[in-house]
């Protein structure tokens, strides 16, 4: 395999060979852009993800982070393990001079949601993609807050139990905390709350999200609706299955702040089916966002090299 300097691409690695890591592998192979997938690393010798990588001619290792650190030419690492594991990986990757794109809720670096702040943290060595629920719902909350102040935002994310692997289940507590903080830090809400439900229905359901937004005082509903419509279009550029089931509606409800107007949005995310079933939109939106963010970092690294040259 040629080095990145020779073929105009940046070498990247995927850390974690579970559902998310494997789906991301297929996305990077389908649309490599400025990236060259040089390694998939995990810990399980029986991992289907590692076996699939080898069958596609991608180097695979059960040495996890150690295999990634052993290749000095790998510049970007997508961490698709768990929040607890990334706590350890973050320091090691930073010391090795590698950029970490964190797909766990560990949040060791600043939050990134592509249509909200893509490109804002190109000077960082670790960025966090929050959670699947965050990637799905923060754009909608931000779409409201950019036209009117938001007092409170709440998201309820319902995903198929079959799409929640061991890593996702280990991250449930971190999911609720990190997503709520993301609704505030990026979404623009003064206060945020996140709830996740694993639905065991058979056949499995699509990822569905309900978003409640309480604006501060009066607002122009037409401006809100137009902003949300534009945001949905922006997300669909990299997640085609991102679908607002109905236009936003306003309901008068009793809230902790008195009787208030509440903007309600219903969202469905259908996966692209690159590796996972289409019902696993919760995983698909994470891997699609990771590829989008990784491509920007890779292009930035290449442009920096050209500037030096």
- Architecture per CATH, domain 132-280, reads as 2-Layer Sandwich (3.30)
Domain locations in the chain as residue ranges = 4-129+286-308, 132-280
Q: Has domain 4-129+286-308 been given CATH number 3.40.50.720? A: yes
Q: Is 33 annotated as a binding residue?
A: no
For range 274-280, the mean pLDDT: 95
Note the pLDDT of residue 145.
Answer: 98
Which residue blocks in 78-161 are alpha helix, DSSP H? 83-95, 114-117, 132-145
How many angstroms separate the CA atoms of 119 and 113, rounded?
Answer: 10
Q: Is 192 annotated as a binding residue?
A: no
Identify whether 28 is a catalytic site residue: no
Residue 307 has pLDDT above 60, yes or no: no
Distances in whole angstroms, Cα of residue 211 to Cα of each of 61, 156, 173, 289: 40, 7, 20, 20
Q: Is 270 annotated as a binding residue?
A: no
Q: Is 128 annotated as a binding residue?
A: no
Q: Is 166 annotated as a binding residue?
A: yes
Percent of the chain's residues with pLDDT above 70: 96
pTM of the model: 0.93
How many angstroms separate the CA atoms of 203 and 218, rounded?
Answer: 43
For range 211-236, the mean pLDDT: 97
Q: Left if phi > 0, otherwise alpha if psi is -120 to 50, otherwise beta: which for 103? A: alpha
Q: Is 124 annotated as a binding residue?
A: no
Point out the catalytic residue in the list 28, 99, 132, 265. 132
Q: Left if phi > 0, otherwise alpha if psi is -120 to 50, otherwise beta: which for 219? A: beta
Residue 252: strand, helix, or coil = strand
How many angstroms separate the CA atoms of 36 and 6, rounded?
Answer: 11
At 62, give phi and psi (nearest 5°).
-95, 10
Under the banding of pLDDT at 50, 70 and 90, the label for residue 306 is low
Burial class of residue 217 in the structure, from the number of CB atoms within 10 Å of its CB (0-12 exposed, 13-18 middle, 19+ buried): exposed
Over the stretch 16-65, which tens digit does the pLDDT of each residue have? 999 999 999 999 999 999 999 999 999 999 999 999 999 999 999 999 99
How many angstroms separate the CA atoms of 22 and 69, rounded?
Answer: 20
Q: Are 73 and 3 in contact (CB under 8 A)?
A: yes
Note the pLDDT of residue 305.
Answer: 66
For range 297-306, the mean pLDDT: 87
Q: Is 165 annotated as a binding residue?
A: yes
Residue 6 has pLDDT above 80, yes or no: no
| CA 5 to centroid of chain Cα atoms | 28
For the chain, strand residue ranges (E) read: 10-15, 35-41, 60-61, 76-79, 99-102, 126-128, 150-160, 189-199, 207-215, 242-244, 249-255, 258-269
Q: Is 167 annotated as a binding residue?
A: yes
How many angstroms separate the CA atoms of 135 and 117, rounded?
Answer: 12
């Amino acid at each position: 395999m040629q080095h990145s300097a020779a073929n105009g691409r940046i070498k990247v690695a995927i850390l974690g060979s579970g559902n998310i890591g494997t789906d991301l592998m297929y996305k990077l192979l389908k649309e490599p852009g400025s990236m060259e997938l040089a390694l998939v690393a995990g810990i399980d010798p029986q991992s289907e993800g590692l076996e699939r990588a080898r069958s596609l001619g991608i180097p695979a290792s059960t040495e996890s982070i150690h295999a990634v650190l052993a290749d000095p030419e790998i510049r970007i690492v997508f961490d698709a393990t768990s929040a607890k594991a990334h706590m350890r990986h973050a320091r090691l990757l930073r010391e090795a001079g590698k950029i970490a794109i964190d797909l766990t809720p560990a949040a060791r670096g600043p939050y990134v949601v592509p249509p909200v702040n893509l490109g804002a943290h190109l000077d960082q060595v670790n960025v966090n993609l929050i959670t699947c629920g965050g990637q799905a719902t923060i754009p909608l909350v931000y779409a409201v807050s950019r036209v009117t102040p938001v007092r409170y935002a709440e998201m309820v994310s319902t995903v198929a139990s079959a799409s929640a692997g061991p890593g996702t289940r280990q991250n449930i507590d971190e999911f609720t905390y990190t997503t709520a903080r993301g609704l505030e830090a990026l979404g623009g809400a003064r206060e945020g709350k996140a709830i996740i439900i694993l639905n065991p229905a058979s056949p499995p359901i699509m990822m569905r999200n309900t978003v409640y937004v309480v604006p501060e005082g009066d607002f122009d509903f037409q401006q809100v609706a137009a902003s949300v419509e534009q945001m949905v279009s922006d997300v669909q550029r990299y997640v085609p299955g991102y679908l607002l089931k109905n236009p936003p509606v306003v309901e008068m409800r009793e809230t902790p702040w008195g009787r208030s107007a509440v903007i309600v949005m219903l969202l469905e995310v259908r996966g692209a089916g690159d590796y996972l079933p289409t019902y696993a939109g919760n995983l698909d939106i994470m891997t699609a966002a990771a590829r989008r963010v990784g491509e920007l970092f890779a292009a930035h690294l290449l442009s920096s090299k050209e500037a030096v040259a």
